[in-house]
């Protein structure tokens, strides 16, 4: 029979629109959250981070929102550009464990 | 600065063969990590080294061994490769929280 592979969640946006990528995390004891961008054939690249005592942090064209009540993290990218096309991962870490746990990722495609 | 470098970039092994993946960083970081990434999944931690001379198991250590040769270098060894170890392997290093990743080694075990 035909085998079925795993598929990443996907998000397609028009160039110039804003993108919102979501992530649900599992460990309520996590102290630190990071978003990574991974382009095809490359290693993950740090985008932005946020501590658990914050609910919002802004960078250049990116904003991370943290909702600890529902254990939800989001990455907002303003004015999405073709170079933003990549897989985006969220990761969490506790100060005691000092190990990152990664989510499964979202494939962002920017349409011309 | 080269950051984190990994060798080789690609490798094909037959089942039962052994090999060592090399990783080096020039950022004077204390902590180094080895991850594997399978299609449609995030990165899973194999082993890490919090400082020179120490190593600890991560989420998926079975079938692997590591050596923290010095502060710069952290190698990953497959003693007897299995098809289930076909994956892309990433090395990373960190001084605090932000991890810097190497370009990866794509390993296929036939």
Predicted confidence (pLDDT) per residue in B86-97, tens digit? 999 999 999 777
Residue A43 contacts B where some CB pair is shorter than 8 Å: yes
* CB–CB contact B40 A104 (8 Å): yes
pLDDT attached to residue A11: 95
Answer yes or no: do B101 and A45 touch at CB < 8 A: yes
| A102/B104 CB distance under 8 A | no
Chain B residues with CB under 8 Å of A46 CB are 98-100
Residue A87: pLDDT band (50, 70, 90) is very high
Task: Say if A35 is an interface residue toward chain B (CB within 8 Å).
Answer: no
Closest alpha carbon within chain A to B90: A43
What is the SS3 string spanning chain A? CCCCCCCCCEEEEECCCCEEEEEECCCCCCCEEEEEEECCCCCCEEEEEEECCCCEEECCCEEEEEECCCCEEEEEECCCCHHHCEEEEEEEECCCCCCCEECCCEEEEEEC
Residues of chain A found within 8 Å of residue B41, distances taken between Cβ atoms: 6, 104-105
Q: What pLDDT shows up at residue A104? A: 82
Q: Number of CB pairs < 8 Å for A and B?
A: 56
- Find chain A residues with C-beta within 8 A of B33's C-beta: 100
Taking the CA of residue B14 and the nearest CA in chain A, the distance in Å comes to 23
pLDDT band of A2, cuts 50, 70, 90: very low
The pLDDT tens digits of the residues spanning B34-76 come to: 999 998 778 999 999 999 999 999 999 999 999 998 999 999 9
Summarize pLDDT for A5-23 with one digit per residue, the tens. 345 789 999 999 999 999 9
Average pLDDT over residues A64-92: 95
Residue A3's pLDDT is what?
35
Residue of B9, B31, B35, B40 to mutate, interface with A, max A Cβ within 10 Å: B40
pLDDT for residue A7:
58
Partner-chain residue, chosen from B33, B42, B104, that has the shortest CB–CB distance to A105: B42
Q: What is the mean pLDDT of chain A?
A: 89
Within 10 Å of residue B21's Cβ, how many Cβ atoms? 23
Token output for A19: 């993108």
Q: Which residues of chain A neighbour B98 with C-beta distances below 8 Å?
A: 34, 46, 49
Percent of chain A with pLDDT over 90: 71
Which position has the token pair 């970081």?
B29
Q: Tokens 């978003």: give the residue.
A: A35
To the nearest whole number, what is the mean pLDDT of chain B? 94
* pLDDT of res. A4: 39
Mean pLDDT over residues A89-111, rounded?
87
């Amino acid at each position: 029979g035909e085998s079925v592979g795993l598929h990443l969640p996907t998000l397609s946006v028009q160039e110039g629109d804003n993108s919102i990528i979501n992530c649900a995390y599992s460990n309520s004891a996590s102290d630190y959250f990071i978003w990574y961008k991974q382009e095809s054939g490359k290693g993950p690249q740090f985008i932005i981070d946020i501590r658990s005592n914050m609910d919002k942090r802004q960078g250049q064209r990116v904003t991370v929102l943290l909702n600890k009540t529902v254990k939800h993290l989001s990455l907002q990218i303003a004015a999405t550009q073709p170079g933003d096309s990549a897989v985006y991962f969220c990761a969490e870490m506790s100060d005691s464990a000092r190990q990152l746990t990664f989510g499964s990722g979202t494939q962002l495609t920017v349409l011309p | 600065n080269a950051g984190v470098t990994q060798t080789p970039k690609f490798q094909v092994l037959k089942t039962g063969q052994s090999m060592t993946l090399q990783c080096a960083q020039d950022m004077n970081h204390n902590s180094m990590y080895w991850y594997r990434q399978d299609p449609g999944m995030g990165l899973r931690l194999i082993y890490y080294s919090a400082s020179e001379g120490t190593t600890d198991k991560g989420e998926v250590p079975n079938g692997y061994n590591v050596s923290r040769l010095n502060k710069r270098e952290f190698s990953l060894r497959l003693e007897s490769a299995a098809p289930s170890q076909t994956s892309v392997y990433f090395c990373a290093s960190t001084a605090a929280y932000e991890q810097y990743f190497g370009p990866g080694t794509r390993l296929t075990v036939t």
